[in-house]
């Protein structure tokens, strides 16, 4: 038996996707008794599962038969071809079965008046596939879908699926996630009055399309824009961004934010309700936005640059609680006046050495985390950080080879590095090799301990590789002589087990 698509392609009906199975025929192999559950509880559980799994679970007992078709959620993931299978006929059959299965599922939801969610992950291999996708989207929008989540891949040089502007007037839509599609903007007004979450990932669209889309969402609270690369950055108008006054979360990656009116870069701007902001490889004068966003609590900045300002200086913010700085092309990192800041993380994978980290007036700072490939000879200023409790430090791997000078330089630099964290009461050290923390006896006899007042020291070692506990213990006792609690955590990846030793 076979059906025909609109384009005339014959699609074989796979025996595993017949109506009897979709209704949830009871599995005769399910011998274990299943406790009675209220129908509402079962429906609540099923709506969090992919549709294929929900159908299988519905077949476990008579009480659940056919219940999957009552939930207002359709969630589909096309399986990848089995590993090593290159036969095109087998791959095409699997793809065709997926389309048949999805069509059958939609048949069971024909009488459904409302749809909470339609999620689809699939590969488009032909024009007929694109036509099918258009039918499915019309089905979802016609049933007043609230969440639309589409992510596509392509084969055989198939062009990207193009969303027409007619899909962007769905009044009930609350969440819209699009990945790897094209948005064609015809100039018609876009109206998504209920939309609160918008995620655009590797979507082809013009600056005017992006502006019209964001402007058509008056209630938007979460906005995430991720382009394919820095060479294909999205262009976003600052006026459009500031017009989204209800935003509480902003995530930008490969985005250029432009000021159409060429306003003074020092003029105050901001989003009054913004709480979380993540900027990665973004061309934006972000200090303005931070200063003008009084509710901002969490900020992550990575590889940001701007024509006005290149140094990662974080301006005064009374609400900021956590700050993460990654790979800035700068020698100075400065945070001042962040009275509510509790956590600061610095990750530096670039070759440029950081010369100074300045945390001034951060009275509530409790956690400091630094990870860098090389031990930088930098100055750490913790002025006014009265309650700093814990520091997490990633120590680089020791590779001494046959040179004792390299070993001495490593431990000498490490001693200076650790001494900068004297105000901390609790320090966690992460190392790949325990030998990186076994200080030479000569150095221990000639140098004072770098952490004389430390209360708690925790050392996590990803691979012991023959390091002696006794040598490491003596080294740690010298490192933090006043510590009341010393802990070593080994994690031997090769043997796949973890154990912990307490040193009292």
Q: Identify whether 397 is part of a domain.
A: no
Whether 109 and 19 map to the same domain: the answer is yes
In angstroms, the CA 319 to CA 442 distance is 48
Residue 497 has pLDDT above 50, yes or no: no
Which one, of 464, 468, 455, 456, lies nearest residue 499 by Cα? 464
Q: Above 50 in pLDDT, residue 504?
A: no
Total domains present in the chain: 2
What is the domain extent for residue 299?
173-310
Q: Which residue has the tokens 């159409």?
A: 260
**pLDDT at residue 208 above 70?**
yes
pLDDT at 12 over 60: no
Taking only the tens place, the pLDDT of each residue in 347-398 is 877 656 677 888 888 888 889 988 876 655 677 888 777 667 788 888 766 5
Note the pLDDT tens digit of each residue in 385-428. 766 778 888 876 655 443 445 566 778 888 888 888 888 889 99
How much is the pLDDT for 409? 75
For residue 156, the tally of other CB atoms under 10 A from its CB is 8
Residue 305 located in a structural domain: yes
Could you tell me if 24 and 128 lie in one domain? yes
Q: Are residues 98 and 122 in the same domain?
A: yes
**Final residue of a domain: which of 159, 193, 209?**
159
Nearest to 306 by CA among 323, 331, 324, 289: 289
pLDDT band per the 50, 70, 90 thresholds, residue 3: very low
Domain boundary among 279, 294, 310: 310
Q: Does 32 share its domain with 132?
A: yes
Residue 31 lies in a domain: yes
Q: Which of 107, 126, 159 is the last residue of a domain?
A: 159
In a domain, 464, yes or no: no
Query: Is 333 within a domain?
Result: no
Residue 76, φ and ψ in degrees, nearest 5:
-125, 135
pLDDT at 152: 96
**How many Å apart are CA 449 and CA 453, to the nearest integer?**
10
Same domain, 249 and 144: no
Segment 457-470, tens digit of pLDDT: 999 888 665 556 78
**pLDDT of the residue at 292:** 82
134-177 pLDDT, tens digit each: 999 999 999 999 999 999 999 878 889 999 877 889 999 999 99
Section 471-499 average pLDDT: 75
Tell me, yes or no, whether 227 and 144 share the same domain.
no
146 and 178, same domain (yes or no): no
- On whether both 301 and 267 belong to a single domain, the answer is yes
Instruction: Give the whole-angstrom CA distance, residue 310 versus residue 195.
Output: 35
- 181/155 same-domain check: no
Q: Are residues 88 and 31 in the same domain?
A: yes
Contacts of residue 161, defined as CB under 8 A and 6 or more positions apart, other chains included, come to 124, 130, 133, 152, 181, 182
Contacts of 160 (CB under 8 A, 6+ apart): 152, 154, 180, 181, 182, 204
Distance of alpha carbon 429 from alpha carbon 51, whole angstroms: 45
Query: 336 or 235: whose pLDDT is higher?
Result: 235
Residue 251 has pLDDT above 90, yes or no: yes
| DSSP codes joined into one string, 221-256 | -EEEEE-S-GGGPEEEEHHHHHH-TT-SEEEEEEEE
What pLDDT is recorded for position 375? Answer: 56
Report helix, strand or coil for 188: coil
Mean local confidence (pLDDT), 79-97: 84
Instruction: Pick 305 or 129 by higher pLDDT.
Output: 129
Cβ neighbours of residue 100 closer than 8 Å, sequence gap 6 or more: 3, 11, 12, 13, 14, 17
- Give the mean pLDDT of 317-332: 81
Residue at 489 is within a domain? no
- Residue 286 forms part of a structural domain: yes
The answer, yes or no, to whether residue 180 has pLDDT greater than 90, is: yes
Residues 98, 9, single domain; the answer is yes
288 has a pLDDT exceeding 80: no
Q: What is the distance between the alpha carbons of residues 234 and 198, in angstroms, rounded to a whole number?
A: 15
**Exposure b/e, 63-80, CB count within 10 A at least 16 = b:** ebeebbbebbbbbbebee
Which 8-state DSSP code applies to residue 504?
-
Whether 35 and 179 map to the same domain: the answer is no
Q: Which residues contact 166 (CB under 8 A, 6 or more apart)?
A: none
Higher pLDDT pick, 236 / 259: 236
pLDDT at 284 over 60: yes
Q: Decide if 48 contacts 131 (C-beta within 8 A).
A: no
Separation of alpha carbons 27 and 281, rounded Å: 52
At 17 the pLDDT is 42
Residue 168 burial (CB < 10 Å; 0-12/13-18/19+)?
buried
CA–CA gap between residue 35 and residue 50 (Å, rounded): 22
Residue 161 per-residue DSSP state: P
Q: Is 380 inside any structural domain?
A: no
**Comparing C-alpha atoms, which of 249, 245, 210 is closest to residue 227?**
210
């Amino acid at each position: 038996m076979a059906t025909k698509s609109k384009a005339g392609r014959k699609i074989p009906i796979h025996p595993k996707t017949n109506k009897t199975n979709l209704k949830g025929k009871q599995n005769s192999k399910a011998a274990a008794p299943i406790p009675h559950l209220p129908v509402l509880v079962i429906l609540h559980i099923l709506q969090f599962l992919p549709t294929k799994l929900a159908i299988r679970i519905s077949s476990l007992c008579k009480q659940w038969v056919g219940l999957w078709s009552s939930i207002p959620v359709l969630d589909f993931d096309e399986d990848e071809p089995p590993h090593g299978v290159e036969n095109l006929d087998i791959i095409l059959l699997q793809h065709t079965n997926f389309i048949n299965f999805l069509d059958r599922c939609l048949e069971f939801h024909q009488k459904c008046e409302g749809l909470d969610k339609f999620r689809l992950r699939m590969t488009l291999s032909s024009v007929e596939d694109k036509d099918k996708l258009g039918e499915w989207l019309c089905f979802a929008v016609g049933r007043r879908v609230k969440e639309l989540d589409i992510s596509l891949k392509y084969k055989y040089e198939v062009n990207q699926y193009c969303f027409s502007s007619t899909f962007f007037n769905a009044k009930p839509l609350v969440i819209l996630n699009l990945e790897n599609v094209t948005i064609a903007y015809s100039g018609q007004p876009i109206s998504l009055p209920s939309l609160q979450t918008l995620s655009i990932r590797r979507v082809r669209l013009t600056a005017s399309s992006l502006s019209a889309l964001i402007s058509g969402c008056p209630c938007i609270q979460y906005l995430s824009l991720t382009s394919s690369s820095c060479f294909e950055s999205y262009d976003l108008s600052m006026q459009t961004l500031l017009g989204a006054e209800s935003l509480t979360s902003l995530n930008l990656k490969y985005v250029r934010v432009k000021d159409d009116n060429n306003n003074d870069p020092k003029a105050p701007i901001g989003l009054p309700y913004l709480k979380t902001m993540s900027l990665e490889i973004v061309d934006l004068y972000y200090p303005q936005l931070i200063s003008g966003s009084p509710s901002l609590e969490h900020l992550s900045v990575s590889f940001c640059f701007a024509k006005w300002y290149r140094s990662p200086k974080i301006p005064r913010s009374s609400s900021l609680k956590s700050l993460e700085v990654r790979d800035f092309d700068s020698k100075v990192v400065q945070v001042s006046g962040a009275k509510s800041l509790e956590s600061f993380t610095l990750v530096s994978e670039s070759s440029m050495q950081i010369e100074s980290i300045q945390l001034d007036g951060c009275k509530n700072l409790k956690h400091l985390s630094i990870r860098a490939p090389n031990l930088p000879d930098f100055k750490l200023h913790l002025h006014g950080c009265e309650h700093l409790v814990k520091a997490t430090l990633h120590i680089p791997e020791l590779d001494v080879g046959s040179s004792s000078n390299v070993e001495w330089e490593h431990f000498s630099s490490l001693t200076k590095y650790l001494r900068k964290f004297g105000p901390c009461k609790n320090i966690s050290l992460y190392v790949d090799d325990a030998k990186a923390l076994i200080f030479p006896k000569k150095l221990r006899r000639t140098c004072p301990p770098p952490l004389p007042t430390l209360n708690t020291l925790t050392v996590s070692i990803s691979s012991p590789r023959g390091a002696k506990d006794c040598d490491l213990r003596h080294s740690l006792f010298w490192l933090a002589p006043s510590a009341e609690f010393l802990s070593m955590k080994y994690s031997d990846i090769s043997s796949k087990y973890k154990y912990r030793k307490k040193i009292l």
